[in-house]
Amino acid sequence: MMKTTVGWHVDMEFQEDDQHTRAVAMVRLPDGSEVRSQGHASRHNVDTNQPRVGEEIAGARALNELAMQLLTKAHTEIDDASGRTSHPIHV
């Protein structure tokens, strides 16, 4: 049996100032569709300015939202193909 290797590349972009970080995640799927999401992080005034930490938090939030959108897309495709309602597992 031959196995097929498939790869996805997720693009992440960040916009930041001294207090806020915004992350945008995007993945292009083999069916030609794109899924995009956003995540935000805010620095508390007493915390030191650590842009990398803001990127990690905002990026993680964007990736989490991306995962939820992919689950929704997959369940919609299951429902459309099967004619029944699937039940997504919420994590």
Task: Tell me how far apart the alpha carbons of residues 55 and 15 are, in angstroms, rounded to a whole number.
Answer: 9
Give the number of domains in the chain: 1
Give domain status of residue 89, yes or no: no
What is the per-residue pLDDT across 22-64, written as a single tens digit (0 to 9) for each? 999 999 998 899 999 999 999 988 988 888 999 999 999 999 9
Identify the domain containing residue 25 by its residue range. 11-81
Give domain status of residue 86, yes or no: no
> Residue 7: phi, psi to the nearest 5?
-130, 145
Q: Give the pTM.
A: 0.83
Average pLDDT over residues 83-87: 78
Map residue 1 onto helix, strand or coil. coil
Give domain status of residue 4, yes or no: no
Give domain status of residue 71, yes or no: yes
Nearest-5° Cα angle at 18, 13 to 60: 40
Please give the order of strands across the beta sheet that includes 10-16: 10-16, 20-28, 34-42
Nearest-5° Cα angle at 35, 53 to 52: 10
| CATH number, domain containing residue 61 | 3.30.160.240
Give domain status of residue 88, yes or no: no
Give domain status of residue 3, yes or no: no
